[in-house]
Amino acid sequence: MKFLSSDGVIIKKLDYGEADRLITIFSRRYGKIQLNIKGIRKSKRRDKNAVELLAFSKFVFYRKGERLITTNFELLDSFWGIRSNIKNIEIIMYILSVLNNILVENQRKSVLYDYFLKVINYLDKSENQIKNHLLVCHFLSKMIQEEGIAFELSEGEYFDIENSKFRKNSGSYFLKLSKMEKKILENISGEKSDGVLKEIRDITVVKKVINILERYINYHLHTSLNFKHFLGEDLKNGEYS
């Protein structure tokens, strides 16, 4: 029997049977994988927190038929700062949904994994919701780059989603952006947002940029991301139809 090991963050869990659990982890060595844990819900183990949603843990596991089984795990971080802030819980749940929708099993994504850990650690300490929502923009931009669907930031205020570029004239599947929305896109594409942070007075404009990036991802990757389910309760009429 060959044992494998990796650290990883639990991005989804499913309880089944009388006491078993199936967890999906984004791991450093193997990318997105699913691990089965037998009897964990009836267990009196003190380290059960290591297999809860969002736990950052180290796992030892082995293959049995078509399944991966783990009985050995160690909690590295629970991110209690996030868990104690309802707004940050909403943000991280959205980010987990993005990973679950886009990541393909058994494809290593070491650059994205390291970036994801930075995102979680930032959210664990930050209570500034404008900064935290800008972080979501950065995260979606990173996903776009990692998936090889980057768009061209050229002149114009109309975002041509289908052809991944900006234009000066409108078209059938174009989004018209405000100056601030495009400025935010330009800043996050350059991997910095400090230049616009002091100009943002309303979190709604940041949520609109999240909506724009999500629309772009959904079109090109055929996903069904829905940030309004997690973050859009106060978007008012700002979303694009």
Q: How far is CA 150 from CA 70, 134, 141, in A?
A: 37, 18, 8
- Evaluate whether residue 142 is within a structural domain: yes
> Mind listing the pLDDT tens digit for each residue in 93-152?
999 999 999 999 999 999 999 999 999 999 999 999 999 999 999 999 999 999 999 999
Q: How confident is the model at residue 193 (pLDDT cuts 50, 70, 90)?
A: low
| Residues 144 and 207 grouped into a single domain | yes
- Evaluate whether residue 111 is within a structural domain: no
pLDDT of residue 240: 45
| Residues 71 and 144 grouped into a single domain | no
The structural domain count of the chain equals 2
CB neighbours of 31 closer than 8 A, spacing ≥ 6? 103, 104, 105, 106, 107, 108, 109, 113
pLDDT of residue 76: 96
Final residue of a structural domain among 77, 104, 120: 77
The range of the structural domain enclosing residue 35 comes to 3-77
> Mind listing the pLDDT tens digit for each residue in 130-139?
999 999 999 9
Q: Answer yes or no: is pLDDT of 190 > 80.
A: no
| Residues 67 and 139 grouped into a single domain | no
| Residues 136 and 216 grouped into a single domain | yes
| Residues 206 and 135 grouped into a single domain | yes
Q: DSSP alpha helices (H): ranges in the chain?
A: 80-83, 86-102, 110-125, 129-146, 179-189, 194-197, 203-221
Q: What is the CATH number of the domain that holds 24?
A: 2.40.50.140
d(CA 180, CA 13): 38
Q: Answer yes or no: is pLDDT of 48 > 90.
A: no
Kind plus residue range of the DSSP H or E element containing 73: strand 67-77
Q: Answer yes or no: is pLDDT of 239 > 80.
A: no
CB neighbours of 83 closer than 8 A, spacing ≥ 6? 54, 89
- Helices 86-102 and 129-146: crossing angle in degrees, nearest 10, is 10
Final residue of a structural domain among 77, 105, 137: 77
- Evaluate whether residue 23 is within a structural domain: yes
Q: How far is CA 76 from CA 18, 72, 182, 213, in A?
A: 27, 13, 39, 32
Q: Answer yes or no: is pLDDT of 195 > 90.
A: no
| Residues 132 and 224 grouped into a single domain | yes
Final residue of a structural domain among 15, 49, 77: 77
- Evaluate whether residue 108 is within a structural domain: no
